Amino acid sequence: MRFSDIPGHLRVKDRLRGMADSGRIPHAILIEGPAGTGKFVLARAFAQYIHCENRTSDGEPCGCCPSCLQHESFNHPDTVFSFPILKSASTAGVCDDLSKEWKKFLDESPFMEFDRWLQMLGNPNGQPVVYSAEALNIARKFSKTSYSTKYKILLFWLPERMQNECANKLLKLIEEPFQDSLLIFVSDNPGEILPTVRSRLQSVPVNRISVPDIAAYLEQSLGSDRSSALAVAHIADGNMISARNHMLQSKEYSQFLDFFMLLMRAAYKRQVGVLRKWSIDIASLGREAEIRFLSYCERMMRENFINNLHMPSLVYMTQAEQAFSSRFSPFINERNVERLLAEFKQARTDIAANANAKIVLFDLAIHVILLLKA
């Protein structure tokens, strides 16, 4: 993993490089920030950079030396991974039992989608933790000298999921580290880490990824067109997991656009029968999809209102959305936009509370009729 493979975070990359280049690396680091911001790939790139035998002049691991090749295949002997697991998947409660699943997860989900990990553990509703047995396993590994490099490195994903017993056992290794040990913790919710552990870690904060950086990544990695990439990046709110999922679920969003256009056209023409069937069709999607659709409608309301300001740089819509909105947006104005948004939000809230979706959606459609010509 090269730093240049990771979108954004220039200051964080420079800080990590500086630690490695100076040889003054804190023995226990906490890379912390929101989910989906690439914290764990930063940790992986940092570990590879530390172990690399021929760092490049532009501050990257070479990618060719034995250490780099071992990192790329997740097989470096001086790199230890720890992560939350379900005991049903590991009778011993240690991560080594799930090394095959873990390597597949790292390969397929570099931005560490937690729901994807739950699926790989075989229980989408599970609550994985890091058991006390893992702390003993880590201590055992770090009691041995590094195999081929100066440092033995721990990459620990989601330390906030450590059991208290595990955290207390690991505390000794943090307070009294071996000379060749580096402990790198990566957290989505650092406030949930046991205070006695967190207070002993040097923090490296990671912020959300910027819209331009996400858009550029989507264009390069998924071949997305510029306008769609910008629209998705804007929706993702700095979360690369969300951005990738939005882009890969383009079929659903194409369907949402069709439903949105049908709603607006039928409401404008006051076609009550069409709207009644529309509400039945949306209700058949299931509650979670209905909620996602209504959130999509709220975004389209906002984007169409902004489109009326005639400032294209502020509008984030795909080409298909723009084609419809070029004629539709004048109907979303200062007289009705707030009330329309309120109606969609209320419908979303009602459906989330298990209200009858057909009734809620048909009622929403009637309100759209009244508000479109306000």
pLDDT in tens, 212-270: 999 999 888 877 778 778 888 887 889 999 888 877 766 677 889 999 999 999 999 99
Whether residues 242 and 265 share a domain: the answer is no
Whether residues 189 and 316 share a domain: the answer is no
- Residue 183 tokens read as 């402990």
**CB neighbour class for 259 (10 Å; exposed up to 12, middle 13-18, buried from 19):** middle
Whether residues 159 and 37 share a domain: the answer is yes
| Interatomic CA distance for residues 222 and 224, integer angstroms | 5
Whether residues 277 and 365 share a domain: the answer is yes
Whether residues 307 and 202 share a domain: the answer is no
Q: Beta strands of the chain (E only): which ranges?
A: 28-32, 79-82, 152-157, 181-187, 202-205
Residue with tokens 């406030």: 191
Structural domain span for residue 214: 210-248
Contacting residues for 370 by C-beta, under 8 A, at least 6 apart: none
Whether residues 258 and 307 share a domain: the answer is yes
What confidence tens digit (pLDDT) does each residue in 271-290 have? 999 999 999 999 999 888 89
Whether residues 243 and 272 share a domain: the answer is no
Long-range contacts of 371-374 (CB under 8 A, 24+ apart): 371/336, 371/339, 371/340, 371/343, 372/264, 372/267, 372/268, 372/331, 372/336, 373/268, 373/331, 374/335, 374/336, 374/339
pLDDT at 125: 79
Tell which of 176, 207, 238 closes a domain: 207
Tell which of 194, 222, 248 closes a domain: 248
Whether residues 225 and 203 share a domain: the answer is no
319 φ, ψ (degrees, to nearest 5): -60, -40
pLDDT at 224: 75
Whether the Cβ atoms of residue 184 and residue 153 lie closer than 8 Å to each other: yes
pLDDT at 250: 64
pLDDT at 251: 66
Domains contained in the chain, number: 3
**Which residues, given as ranges, of the chain have pLDDT below 50?**
none
pLDDT at 85: 95
CATH no. for residue 58? 3.40.50.300
Whether the Cβ atoms of residue 192 and residue 164 lie closer than 8 Å to each other: no
Tell which of 141, 175, 207 closes a domain: 207
Whether residues 94 and 146 share a domain: the answer is yes
Whether the Cβ atoms of residue 166 and residue 154 lie closer than 8 Å to each other: no
Whether residues 123 and 48 share a domain: the answer is yes
Whether residues 215 and 269 share a domain: the answer is no
Whether residues 242 and 293 share a domain: the answer is no
